[in-house]
Amino acid sequence: MFAAIFRFLNSIEPTAQFTQEIENDGVLAFLDVKPTRENTGCLHYTVYRKPTHTDRYLNFRSDHPPQHKKAVIKTLQCRAKLLSSNETNYQDEMERSQLALKNNGHPPALTARSQISTNTKKMIKKQSSVVLPYYRGLSSGQ
């Protein structure tokens, strides 16, 4: 059944090909998230990286503006907070991020000072927005 659907979808546009992922040992990577299904049926999730990921980020000694360098730190820390379902996963991800940043020349004092607060996850969710397309005569309410 699925094979026929994939063949049909993939025959429509050769430059846009669909694939299928199969769960392996309770893990099924989806975008940047790695959900893991426990034996109890509970789901835990953390950051997912492809096996070829190199942990290369903007080097601190590069000639980029300081805001870009700080954004790399903040992005990795926010990603760890938002994509970790429990404290253990969060701490593991933060350790990996700190090591990656250190290997990319970021001073440990700067990365430690930039650590996000525990309320950031709630704040980010509150800042969600929806963008609606404009259609003349339909969206304007006339």
In the chain, the amino acid numbered 83 is L
Q: How many domains does the chain have?
A: 1
Which residues touch 38 (CB under 8 Å, ≥6 apart)?
A: 26, 44
Over residues 53-102, the pLDDT tens digits come to 999 999 999 999 999 999 999 999 999 999 999 899 999 999 999 999 99
User: For residue 33, is it within any domain?
Assistant: yes
Over residues 111-123, the pLDDT tens digits come to 776 665 444 445 4
- According to the model, what pLDDT value does residue 119 have? 47
User: For residue 15, is it within any domain?
Assistant: no
Q: How far apart are CA 108 and CA 46, in angstroms?
A: 23
User: For residue 26, is it within any domain?
Assistant: yes
Helix axis angle, 66-82 to 87-103, nearest 10°: 160
User: For residue 13, is it within any domain?
Assistant: no
User: For residue 69, is it within any domain?
Assistant: yes
> Is pLDDT at 104 greater than 90 in this prediction?
yes
Helix (H) or strand (E) holding 125: helix 120-126
* Residue range of the domain that includes 66: 22-119
User: For residue 68, is it within any domain?
Assistant: yes
